[in-house]
Amino acid sequence: MKRYRLSVAYDGTDFCGWGVQPQMRTVQGVMGEACNKIFNEVGDVTAAGRTDSGVHAAGQTVHLDCETSIKAQNMAYRLNAVLPDDVVVESVKIVEDDFHARFHCLAKQYVYRLANGKVPPLFDRSTVAWEQRPLDLHPMREAAKYIEGEHDFKAFMNVGREMESTVRKILRFNVKRRQGQLIFSILGTGFLYNQVRVMVGTMIDIGLGKIPALMIKDILQSRDRKNAGVTVEAKGLSLQKTIYAGDPSEKMLPQ
């Protein structure tokens, strides 16, 4: 048995999220089936981040153990040949037996895409949410700076998963406008349940001028979910990068 590290992307539209659930189509389930078709003795397929229903991944990292005569450089090709067209394995390499996709992940970058104009998104409508009302970039950028750092994010968490602590560290929160879309990029060492989607929902209130940017600080301090914005729809969200020690992307992390 060897341990393999896979870089995986998927369109979350038709998946009930990453984690296996009975009777549901999940990415973990589909990947397990594909692996069982071509390898012997496949262990559990473990991901850096268990994305929710409808959430996409451009840069998910996965590890699994298997016994196979197929060379690592041919495994992506073999897996893609049996996987459905909404999951793609981009690369595979052999790693140390103790590599763990989840526990060794230093940071994750999520991206939320929001078309902001009068015309709805078309070709990318599966991966881009839509807000018709004009959003002002400036206060959203100000608010994003208040979110950066280590805070108790309880106000931005939906109930759903048990958590020992609601303190998390956001390393970077950028907001930019590009070709009629707002792109929210959030780099953090860990995230609470629905945290990114609640933060983006709150950002929208700020961009609309419903609340001032500075109020983010009060919302954080209140630790009360009622004070934050709505949970924006899943389809705009993508797990963009998962970062490990020694990866080229490690340079994205603050020194």
Interface contacts to its own copies, rule CB under 8 A: 9-11, 56, 58, 76-77, 80, 85-90, 118-120, 122-127
The helix/strand count (H/E) of the chain reads as 5, 10
Instruction: Give the shortest CB-68-to-its own copies separation in angstroms.
Output: 19
Classify the phi-psi angles of 155: left when phi > 0, otherwise alpha if psi is within -120 to 50, otherwise beta: alpha
Minimum CB–partner distance for residue 27 and its own copies (Å): 12
What minimum distance in Å lies between the beta carbon of 179 and its own copies? Answer: 13
Residue 205 annotated as catalytic: no
Instruction: Provide the token pair at 24.
Output: 């549901």
The C-alpha angle with vertex 124 and arms to 133 and 127, in degrees rounded to 5, equals: 80
3-state secondary structure of 144: helix
Q: Which of 14, 44, 52, 86 is catalytic?
A: 52
Q: Give least dist CB 72 to its own copies, A.
A: 14
Nearest alpha-carbon partner for 225 in 186, 250, 194: 194
- CA dist 83 and 44 (Å) reads 17
Decide the pairing of beta strands 237-243 and 56-66.
parallel
Distance CA 72, CA 91 (A): 9
Count of positions (residues) in the chain: 255
Q: Report yes or no: 11 and 56 within 8 Å, Cβ to Cβ.
A: yes
Query: Is the CB of 33 or the CB of 86 nearer to its own copies?
Result: 86
Distance CA 238, CA 57 (A): 5
Least Å distance between CB 134 and its own copies? 14
Residue 94: C-alpha distances to residues 43, 57, 117 (Å): 15, 22, 45
Half-sphere exposure of 115 (CA within 13 A, CB side): 16
- Beta carbon nearer to its own copies, 53 or 222: 53
Q: Enumerate the active-site residues.
A: 52
